[in-house]
Amino acid sequence: MKKATSLFLVAVLFSSGTVLAQKKKTAVSADQKMNTYISNLMSKMTLDEKIGQLNLPSVGFDITGPILSQGVEEKIEKGLVGGVFNTYTPAAVKKLQDLALKKSRLKIPLLFGYDVVHGHKTIFPIPLGLSATWDMSLIEKSARIAAREASADGLNWTFSPMVDIARDPRWGRMSEGSGEDPYLGSLIAKAMVRGYQTNNLSSRDAILACVKHFALYGAAEAGRDYNTTDMSPNRMYNEYFAPYKAAVDAGAASVMASFNDINGTPATANKWLMTDVLRKQWGFNGFVVTDYTGIPELIAHGLGDLKTVSALALNAGVDMDMVGEGFLTTLKESLKENKVSMATIDQACRRILEAKYKLGLFENPYRYISEERAAKEILSDGNRLDAKAITRASLVLLKNNNQVLPLKGNAKIALIGPLADNKRDMIGNWSAAGDWRKSVSVLEGLKRYAPQMEITYAKGANLVDDAHILKQINNNGADIVADEKSPERLIEEAVSAAKKSDVAVVVLGESAIMGGEATSRTNLDLLPNQKALLKAITATGKPVVLLLMNSRPLTLEWEDANVTAILETWFGGTEAGNAIAEVLVGNYNPAGKLTATFPRNIGQIPIYYNHKNTGRPFDGNELDKFKSRYIDSPNDPLYPFGYGLSYTTFSYSPLSLNAKVMSPAGKLQASVQVSNTGNYDGEEVVQLYIQDIYGSITRPVKELKGFQKIFLKKGESKTVTFSIGINDLKFYNADLKHVAEPGDFKVYIGTNSRDVVGSTFTLVK
């Protein structure tokens, strides 16, 4: 290196060193300032007021249970409430904040929480759909818009992101997360936290994130909500923990304990999880809130009476009690009996006050409350445009025979199905503040984007006919009324529309209320009345495009074998109809990829791509009896993780590695050339998978380790290169140490987790 250059470098390093030191100093003094402020405040607080900060009642519109919180306003005046949830709009928030600031002794501002899960008023696709974009900037943008709208509406805390890895589509909450993969799930968790919190929590449009449900909620046995989880620590660390940790690393200000029992100790009372893993190993320094009535539910779990379980939760590391009021009503007595310590109560109280301080609430408790901003920000044209772009990117093309999609400009379309002209279901479950009346149906979207097309609409079937399911979902707001026409008549009309058309587009799936919390199912076929409609339409011999709306993978073997094309649209949010129409008419070429495996049948569940091998892997020979397989079904899924087609086609060259050997400090470049060989410009998510062939413990057959979403013009080729480093090869070994073991690895690149090109390399010591 030349002397002048090296001197210059030294100078740069030195000055960046001083900048860093300066930054650190500022952070330390900001922390000191906060600590002094809070210590001073706490020195004035009574025990009741401290315990009051740990209390989170629900006020207003309650969506996850009966309204249990009583006398909240009076409690706020007495300083017995730390925050509330389910209250929003500037006026409603101001009313309660006024009570805290004008009537309570110490005037401590309240937190205002809410389930802003996939948008506040401008609703984005359900999170499972969002994840299918594989686009971190779009996902972050959705969270940013959600935070801007929510904060304008008086909120300062969202119960999101939900990052539970889920491998069981029977579980209705799969819709709320990002699917089955820990690597992708981690990137999404980070993007969401950044979107909500920005890098400055005290800015007017940032809100606290709450990563949930810690932990392993997605592994509920038999896919039944709230059910037990029993899992080896090894599996937890290698397959389930990463997205929670990623959210913590990204600075998530709060964590929500999950409802479920984990290896004998429900998360809410689980000290190992809440303190050893979360705080000691991961360095989390925010606050932990229970889930809805999580503390009293420990009684039914069988851990003791309310006083006992409240003390258990606090001692485990829980800081805030959502709705349960176990802390409020029993901690004082437990303190007297030495079941909890003053230091533990103080610590929990301090953590909640710190969150308020970081939000800037002590400086200006009304910082979020502005009718003007609400009117300007909420459901703005810009937000809706962004939502449309995000929704388009979430759509996954599962099948497209004879290139029936995109629809030809002059085609006669029969638009059929109970979800075809439906606004109510478009915003999906957990669109808590969303107004379905503001959403766009597929029929409306098609009329807008294909005004020249002749479209005949026929409902064809009720969304749900099954009396048993209907009773339950209507009780939860589905509002489904049976059509006055008989089911037979509805089908007849649809068949006659299909016969007169060039293509039938049939929009089927679940009611939005059939997904989300407490919606486990044991059958994932299309509902029988919808299937009957689809069969009748297919029997006309016309090309059939099946448009699906659903909260989870469904079992679609018959559909895959019998319809011409399938487009998975999840529940796409406020702009669903416009986004879908743009894809149908070819204004946008779909590029979404599945983030959860679609099984062939329910018996294959749990099914996921990153499984282990057995000692007797199945090699396709059905007469070879003693292999790990079913005698009545293939092992492989209908659509694998990472799968999704495009209107164009892509070809992959063989994989090339720049070396066959990698040293621990080195990097390896794995490349393929991807070519757009079809007739449309398009995007492709190029995926990198690695397998550690021999390990000190068994390792999955493949793990996602990278991906790039690229755009290729028709006829264009690009070389896509992934850089593989030691961190991509690490896993938690039998001692839960994060290590990379020297030896042979397979590396794969492909269009999904099944269709890949591969090579091998060796990691040396």
Return the number of other C-beta atoms located less than 10 Å from residue 107's C-beta: 13
Please report how close the Cβ of residue 115 comes to ligand BGC at its closest, in angstroms.
5
Which residue type, as a one-letter code, is found at position 639? Answer: Y
Answer whether 86's CB lies under 8 Å from 128's CB.
Answer: no
Q: Catalytic residue at 321?
A: no
Q: Could you tell me what percentage of the chain is helix, strand and coil, using 3-state DSSP and rounding each to the nearest 5? A: 35, 20, 45
And the tokens for 54?
């740990």
Of the candidates 630, 573, 577, 591, the one whose C-alpha atom is nearest the C-alpha of residue 607 is 630
Provide the sign of the torsion angle of the four alpha carbons 194, 255, 281, 261, taken in this order. negative
Strand pairing report for 743-750 and 756-763: antiparallel
Exactly one of 291, 321, 386, 692 is catalytic; which is it? 291
**Crossing angle between the packed helical segments 381-394 and 576-584, to the nearest 10 degrees:** 50
Residues that bind ligand BGC (CB under 6 A): 64, 115, 159, 212, 291-292, 517
Q: What secondary structure letter does DSSP report for 252? A: -
Q: Closest CB to ligand BGC among 180 and 517?
A: 517
Q: Which is nearer to ligand BGC, 213 or 388 (CB)?
A: 213
* Strands in 525-640 per DSSP E: 544-549, 565-568
Q: Which is nearer to ligand BGC, 160 or 610 (CB)?
A: 160
Task: Please state whether the peptide bond connecting residue 161 to the residue before it is cis, i.e. omega within 30 degrees of 0.
Answer: yes
Q: Which amino acid is at 176?
A: E
C-beta separation of 487 from 190 below 8 A: no
Q: Which residues contact 628 (CB under 8 A, 6 or more apart)?
A: 614, 616, 617, 618, 635
The residue among 208, 462, 481 whose CA lies nearest residue 357 is: 208
Instruction: Name the residue nearer to ligand BGC (CB basis): 291 or 575.
Output: 291
Supply the minimum distance, in Å, between the C-beta of residue 159 and ligand BGC.
3
Nearer to ligand BGC, 319 or 559 (CB): 319
For the CB of residue 123, give the shortest distance to ligand BGC in the complex, in Å.
17
Do 314 and 289 meet the contact criterion of CB atoms below 8 Å apart?
no
Structure tokens that stand for 418 in this block: 């109970």
DSSP-derived pairing of the beta strands 321-322 and 55-56: parallel
Min dist. Cβ of residue 59 to ligand BGC (A): 12
Q: Coil, strand, or helix at residue 293?
A: coil
Of the two residues 60 and 251, which places its CB atom closer to ligand BGC in the complex? 60
Shortest distance, position 290 Cβ to ligand BGC, whole Å: 9
- Closest approach, Cβ 549 to ligand BGC, in A, equals 22
Phi and psi of 306, rounded to 5°? Answer: -60, -40
The residue among 57 and 577 lying less far from ligand BGC, judged by its C-beta, is 57
8 A C-beta contact, residue 406 and residue 453? no
Q: What is the DSSP string of 408-449?
A: PTT-EEEEESTTTT-STTTT-TTBTT--GGGS--HHHHHHHH
> Which among 765, 705, 721, 709 is positioned nearest to 741, based on CA atoms?
765
Give the shortest CB-517-to-ligand BGC separation in angstroms.
5
Cβ closest to ligand BGC, residue 115 vs residue 683: 115
Q: How far is the CB of 117 from ligand BGC (least distance, A)?
A: 8
CB of 186 to ligand BGC, least distance (A): 20
- The CB-of-616 to ligand BGC minimum distance in angstroms stands at 40
Classify 405 in phi/psi space as left (phi over 0), alpha (psi -120 to 50) or beta.
beta
Closer CB to ligand BGC, residue 320 or residue 686? 320
Numbers of helices and strands, H then E, in the chain:
22, 27
Which is nearer to ligand BGC, 212 or 552 (by Cβ)? 212
Backbone angles phi, psi at 524, to 5 degrees: -115, 20
Q: Which residues are catalytic?
A: 291
